[in-house]
Amino acid sequence: MTRVVLLGSPPGPIGSPPPAVVPPTAITLDGLPGAPTAYGRLLGQAATLDPRPVTLARPADAAAYEEHPETTVVACVDLAADLRALAELASSADDNLLILPADALVHDELLYQIKTTKRGALALILRDETAEADFDPYDQDEAVPEIGDGVLEGLPVRAGVRGGRVISAGSAYHRVTRPNAALLGPLHLNQRHLATVAETARELAEMAHLFGPEDDVTELLVLGLVRRGVSVGVRGRDDLFFQRLHGPADAADAVRAMTAFNEDRARLDNAVKGADGFFTTYFVSTYSRFIARWAARRGLTPNQVTLISIFLGLCAAAAFATGGRVGYVAGGALIYFAFVFDCVDGQLARYARKFGVLGAWLDATFDRFKEYAVYVGLAVGAAVSGQFGDGQGVWDLALTAIALQTVKHLLDFSFGAANRRKPPVPLPTLELSHADDAPLMAALAHRRDANSRGIRGLIRFWSRAGRFRAVHWARKMIVFPIGERFAAIAIVTALFDPRITFLTLITWGAIATAYTVTGRILRSAA
C-alpha cells in the first residue's frame, strides 16, 4: 500500500499575500459524471492507493475537509506545521509515500504511473520552454545563482532540471543556477528515502521564517532531498492531464481540457515497454497493444495469453520438423505470431494491471522452452529432409546455438543480480543553510569531469551516442534480443534452410555475447 498525503494549503503568488482561494471542497466539476467536487474526486482516486489518506489543512478549512470521513485531517497552522506533520508521517510510514496537492485535477493513469515509478523519488514538473536549452548549468562563469521570479501556472520556476533529474531547487531564500522548471506538486518517495524525508522536513520547518508565501511544501522537500544527495527524477505531463485548481472558473476550463485527452489510449500506449528492440517496436507493438486491449475487454488473463504463445511456439517447432519448404514457411509464420502473443501477455498485464508471480515465472521460463523447442524442431526438420545426410552436423549447430543462448541468459541474470547489489555512487550534498547552490554545482561539475575520463568517459560517450536514432537502434539490435532472434529464425528458415538459420543464430549470438561481456567488464571496472 502507498501512503497518500494531500496538501490542503496551496501556495500564494510571489511577493504578495496569499489571495482568497476557493478550497477544493467547494469546487464542483460539473463536466464530469456525477458532478463531484474536486476534492471528492481526488479522494476517490487516492482511495485506490490508500484506504485512508491524510489531508494537511489550515484550521479555517479543516471542517470542510473533515466532512469527508474517508480521510484523516491534520490541522496545521502554517508551513512549518505542514513540514513537521509530514516528518511524522514519513517516520511512521511502512511503505512508499505519495504527496499530492488537494486542489489537483489529474488523470487516474498519471497517478498510476507516478505511483509505479522505479525511481526512488519522482516529481512532476513543468518545463519553462523559454529557458535556454543549450547551456552548461555547472559553469559558474556563465550564470550566478538567482531567486527566480518566473511563474508557470501560478507556480515559481525555481527548479534546475538536467539529465532526467532535479540537480537543484530553490525557494524565496535559496538561490538556483539557471532554473528551468516549476514543480507541479505530486511527489512520490520510495520507502528507503523516508528517514531522509523526515529529517529534511524537520530541518526545513526550523527555517520556515525564511520562506515566502509562494513556497510549496513539495518544492521545499525536493530542495532538501537534492541537497542531501537524493536523486529526484522528473516526469512531465506528456499525454496525460494534471492541473491545480484555484476556483470554479479554473475548474470549468480544466475539465474541458482534460476531456480532450484520450486517457485510455495513453494507458494503452504506456502498456508497451519503452525499452523494446527494433523488430518488436516496429513490427509487433504497432498493433499488438490493440490485441491486448481486446483481450482485456473480454476478460482474458495474461497467463491465458502466455499459454496461447506457448502453443503457437510448439506448433512452429512441429512445422519446422516436417523438413519441407511449406513447413519452413508455416513455422516462420507461427513463430512470429507466438512472439506477438508473447508481447501481448505483458502488454495485457500492464494495461489491465494484472500482475502475478506465476505469470512472471511462466513468461520467463517458457520463453526459453519455446525457443529451444523451435531449435529442436529445426534440427529434426534438417534430418528428416535428408538434405544434410544424417543431420549430425545440423544437430551440432543446434546444440551450439542452445549453449550460446544459455550462456548469454546466465550472463544477463548474473550481471543483473550483481548490479542490484552494487551501491549507487553518492551524489554531492550541500547544507540547507547555504543560501545558494554554487558549491553544489561546482561539486557536480567535478563529478562530471571525473566521469569524462578513462573507462567512465568511454562509457559516458557511448551512452550519449544513443541520442542519435541510428546508434540507438544499432545498440538495441546488436545484443540480439528475443524479437530479433525470432525474426531471424522465421525469415532465414523460410528463405533458406535450418543450417543457415543456425549459422545466423550462432554468428549474431557470438557478436552479441562479445559486445555484452565487453560492456559489462568495462562497467564493472569503472
CATH number at residue 215: 3.90.550.10
Give the confidence band of 247 by pLDDT, cuts at 50, 70, 90: confident
Q: Are residues 257 and 328 in the same domain?
A: no
pLDDT at 242: 96
Query: Which residues face 160 on adjacent strands?
Result: 168
Last residue of a domain, one of 231, 266, 301: 266
Q: Tell me: the pLDDT tens digits for 85-114?
A: 999 999 999 999 999 999 999 999 999 999
Cβ-Cβ contacts under 8 Å for 449 (sequence gap 6 or more): none
Instruction: Report phi then psi at 124, rounded to 5.
Output: -85, 130
pLDDT at 63: 92
Tell me which residue range forms the domain holding 150: 3-266
Q: Distance (Å, rounded) from C-alpha 168 to C-alpha 441?
A: 8
Q: How many structural domains compose the chain?
A: 2
Q: Are residues 106 and 215 in the same domain?
A: yes
Does the pLDDT of residue 416 top 80, yes or no?
no
Q: Tell me: the pLDDT tens digits for 442-470?
A: 999 888 888 888 888 888 888 888 889 99
Cα-Cα-Cα-Cα dihedral of 149, 150, 155, 159, to 10°? -90
pLDDT at 240: 95
Q: Distance (Å, rounded) from C-alpha 461 to C-alpha 330?
A: 44
- 167 inside domain: yes
Q: Tell me: the pLDDT tens digits for 468-501?
A: 999 999 999 999 999 999 999 999 999 999 999 9
pLDDT at 114: 95
Distance between terminal CA atoms of the chain?
A: 37
Closest CA relative to residue 149, chosen from 158, 159, 160: 158
Which is more confident, 473 or 367?
473
Residue 407's alpha-carbon distances to 397, 410, 430, in angstroms, are 15, 5, 45
Give the confidence band of 18 by pLDDT, cuts at 50, 70, 90: low
CATH number at residue 330: 1.20.120.1760
Specify the DSSP class assigned to residue 210: G
Q: Are residues 221 and 286 in the same domain?
A: no
Last residue of a domain, one of 236, 266, 296: 266
Q: Tell me: the pLDDT tens digits for 312-332?
A: 999 999 999 999 999 999 999
Last residue of a domain, one of 244, 266, 288: 266
